[in-house]
Amino acid sequence: MTTAVVVLAAGKGTRMHSRLPKVLHQAGGRSMLASVLKAAGDSGVAGQNTAVVAGYGIEAIRAALAGSEVEIVLQEPQLGTGHAVLCAQSWWKRHPQVIVVHGDMPLLSAATIGGLARARSESGAAAVLATAAPAEPRAYGRIVRDRERPERVLRIVEEKQATAEQLKIRELNAGFYCFETAALAEALAQLGTDNPHGEYYLTDTIALLAPRGVVAYPLEDDRECLGVNDRAELAELDSDLRRRKVAALLKAGVSVQLPDTVVVDPEVEVGEDTVIESGVQLLGATRIGAGCRIRAHSVVESASVEDGAIIGPFARLREGAVIGAGAHIGNFVEVKKSRIGKGSKANHLAYIGDAVVGERANIGAGTITCNYDGVHKHSTVIGDGAFIGSNSTLVAPVEIGAGAYVGAGSVITEEVPGDALGLGRARQAVKPGWAAARRQTVKRK
């Protein structure tokens, strides 16, 4: 059975105090909207049948989803969650069932989306809604069940409209639903705005659908229904997602020192027996091999580090950097869009950009590849076993041959052939007695 997924993402998020739509704020290394869409995609129930209902900042959402097959539906004006789903009706009514989720709940799992779809198709109910029973109370709608037949859900009562007795109910509405589309269309047509906000509530469809059967789907992890209303809640969920990622690495055989200080993005991959020291950030599409050591306070972004390499401390690998097996990139070394060969070393205070460095090469402290002429980027090639002396400046495009030496302090603008010595510095002059004479002159003044 094909299933449509509708993601509600039209709200501004006033308490975020931001020009950015709330759902585009990041938690755990990707936007909240991206996390929800990934869960939908990973669930295996929706295929490409996913729509996002947007309003505030819709152009930013379009830009964020450019290149995807997600349908974007405009809700204008924003008249509540029921109205948002109604705006997408011409799209979702082509499917036998539709899942509705919120775009600001980044802990939502693929398992929950898949479970909702299966529960509705197997039960034949008009609707299945996710519920939670957290240990601490939340300002969520209460699930009212039939006392004589407790398996039947009768309605959702919003907290502001609940009686004192209803407020004691611990089973809460999680905010995720799966509807039979024909039944949902009929219920939406009957919605009114008799509520404190004067809006069309999607939750009111549950009472309308109850005679046709509404099934509760209890969440295994009640944190999945945590949404974001302000920056504090965003920070809390970001920490939660970060901890989950680090926990997955630990389980997979990666050692992490002081896990609460480490930032790892969701797409990062790390091999067994690698050690990640404190303060490290592994970002973007980074790939770290087995048996590596990423030392304290290093930043690796969309780079690749092969088996046994050592990075840092305080190193920075930028996008496109590829560090070969057993290579060393040391403190305050920056590598950008460059390949560092197997066993090569750049241990101190260097910048390597748009370069190809062979195997077993040594890049001395203070070495710079001058890759940018103000208009274009140019490449530097350093051969196997080359030795680049400290404080060398390699002005690209330039090539240093295999086994060549570059004298310390050189400015190299031309090719240095293999096994040659390249020198490019002013000739030293020594004037005996000059310093003593100068001191005498200063004393007389």
Task: Look at residues 101, 292, 88, 308 and name the one whose alpha carbon lies nearest to residue 280.
Answer: 292
Residue 347's SS3 state is strand
- Sign of the CA dihedral 223, 226, 230, 235? positive
Element (H, E) at 30: strand 30-31
As a whole number of angstroms, the distance between CA 114 and CA 212 comes to 22
Amino acid letter, 407: G
As a whole number of angstroms, the distance between CA 321 and CA 316 comes to 10
DSSP symbol at 19: S
As a whole number of angstroms, the distance between CA 264 and CA 196 comes to 42
Amino acid letter, 344: S
* All residues at 6 or more sequence positions from 208 whose CB lies less than 8 Å from its CB, including other chains: 186, 187, 190, 191
Active site residue 348: yes
- Sign of the CA dihedral 427, 433, 434, 435? positive
Element (H, E) at 54: strand 50-54
Count Cβ atoms within 10 A of the Cβ of residue 361 and give its class: 0-12 exposed, 13-18 middle, 19 or more buried: buried
Task: Look at residues 324, 334, 286, 328 and name the one whose alpha carbon lies nearest to residue 310.
Answer: 328
What is the DSSP annotation of 83-123? HHHHHTHHHHTTSSEEEEEETT-TT--HHHHHHHHHHHHHH
Judge contact between 310 and 293, C-beta under 8 A. yes
As a whole number of angstroms, the distance between CA 138 and CA 406 comes to 67
Task: Please pick, among 83, 102, 297, 348, the residue that the annotation labels catalytic.
Answer: 348
What is the DSSP annotation of 303-336? -EE-TT-EE-SS-EE-TT-EE-TT-EEEET-EEE
As a whole number of angstroms, the distance between CA 168 and CA 189 comes to 31
Residues carrying an active site annotation: 348
